[in-house]
């Protein structure tokens, strides 16, 4: 009889669907129970950003330990108990509702013997893709100049320098679930779409004219008017965009990052902007976003649009993480392989 503990709040519908898979399944909803622990163990910046005001959890430490100790399967979100593996000796499988495996780097689950799955490819990919397109249009049409003009109290019409996206090239770095949506929307705008992915031999996604491997990135950058970073943060992609990569990018190009801030060397990005090599950068993420505010050199630059990791939010919840979990639960009960199992060496 598998005991499933969820650390994120479940809707009554999601709970019913999980319990309907097999009568032996027992679900305990502990969403919000650990908020007090998160305030004590995570940076204050994280608590302020992700926890409800004055939320301090439920029960005492012994109550929460009992919940973890009885769990065979745990559904987690963000944040999560950093010592979860130590306190959950029966734990066989942890499913993370977010898509990025790098979220787990802080805790003792990383590299453990527990099977961990993520919602990669099932998150709010369309919402994130729409954000990416909004960022592209923001700088393509010079809309960042409007705030500058308002602050200065007068228009500088020649400073807008709008460009037409039709026929321009976008390079999608990481043509996975989110990257494929970005490419599809950019193609609908008439853009020429190229992209990179770990395995370029798989079927080419809709809207893409060319898919290459990691080694093809340097071939794509000099002809890309827009670069959209959508890949996972791994040892291979850490500071993937450094001074050399920014120098290789096409002059007056636009950078969009909807992945993780650590993929970009932010000093190198600030330098590329300072030299007017780049037209602008739309960043939904930045280095250390769970600990502190963005780097001042970037946040103070009008050619940089920084938002607090909100690209996946929308008025409609199309997140497929729970549907993926239910599919995996059926497989787990039947002894079949699970989808989206994290490879610790690969990083996702």
Residues serving a catalytic function are 260, 291, 309
Contacts of 48 (CB under 8 A, 6+ apart): none
Q: Are 99 and 78 contacting, i.e. CB atoms less than 8 angstroms apart?
A: no
CA atoms of 41 and 79, how far apart (whole Å) = 10
Nearest to 189 by CA among 159, 169, 213, 211: 169
CA atoms of 54 and 267, how far apart (whole Å) = 36
Q: Per-residue DSSP letters for 120-151?
A: TTSSSHHHHHHHHHHHHHHHHTTTHHHHHHHH
Taking the alpha carbons of 65, 66, 72, 76 in that order, is the dihedral positive or negative?
negative
CA atoms of 70 and 26, how far apart (whole Å) = 11
CA atoms of 64 and 62, how far apart (whole Å) = 5
Q: For every residue of 201-225, which 3-state class applies, written as one string?
A: CCCCCCCEEEEECHHHHHHHHHHCC
């Amino acid at each position: 009889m598998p005991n499933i503990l969820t650390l994120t709040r479940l809707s009554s519908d999601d709970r019913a669907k999980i319990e309907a898979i097999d009568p032996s399944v027992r679900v305990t909803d502990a969403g919000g129970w650990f908020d007090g622990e998160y305030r004590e163990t995570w940076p204050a910046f994280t608590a302020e950003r992700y926890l409800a005001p004055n939320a301090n959890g439920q029960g005492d430490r012994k109550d929460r330990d009992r919940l973890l100790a009885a769990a065979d399967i745990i559904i987690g979100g963000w944040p999560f108990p950093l010592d979860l593996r130590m306190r959950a000796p029966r734990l066989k499988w942890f499913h993370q509702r977010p898509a990025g495996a790098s979220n787990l780097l802080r805790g003792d689950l990383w590299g453990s013997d527990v099977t961990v799955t993520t919602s990669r490819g099932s998150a709010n990919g369309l919402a994130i893709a729409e954000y990416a397109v909004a960022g592209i249009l923001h700088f393509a049409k010079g809309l960042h100049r409007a705030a500058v003009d308002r602050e200065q109290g007068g228009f500088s019409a020649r400073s807008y320098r709008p460009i037409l996206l039709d026929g321009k090239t976008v390079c999608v770095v990481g043509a996975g679930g989110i990257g494929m949506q970005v490419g599809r929307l950019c193609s609908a705008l008439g853009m020429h779409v190229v992209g990179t992915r770990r395995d370029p031999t798989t079927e080419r996604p809709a809207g893409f004219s060319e898919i290459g491997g990691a080694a093809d990135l340097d071939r794509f950058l000099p002809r890309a008017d827009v670069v959209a970073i959508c890949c996972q943060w791994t040892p291979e992609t850490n500071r993937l965009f450094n001074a050399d990569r920014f120098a290789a990018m096409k002059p007056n190009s636009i950078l969009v990052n909807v992945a993780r801030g650590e993929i970009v060397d932010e000093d190198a990005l600030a330098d590329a902007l300072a030299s007017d090599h780049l037209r602008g950068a739309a960043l939904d993420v930045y280095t250390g976003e769970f600990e502190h505010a963005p780097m001042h050199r970037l946040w103070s630059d009008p050619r940089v649009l920084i938002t607090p990791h909100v690209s996946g939010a929308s008025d409609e919840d199309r997140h497929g993480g729970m549907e993926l979990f239910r599919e995996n639960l059926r497989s787990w009960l039947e002894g079949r392989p699970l989808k989206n199992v994290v490879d610790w060496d690969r990083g996702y």
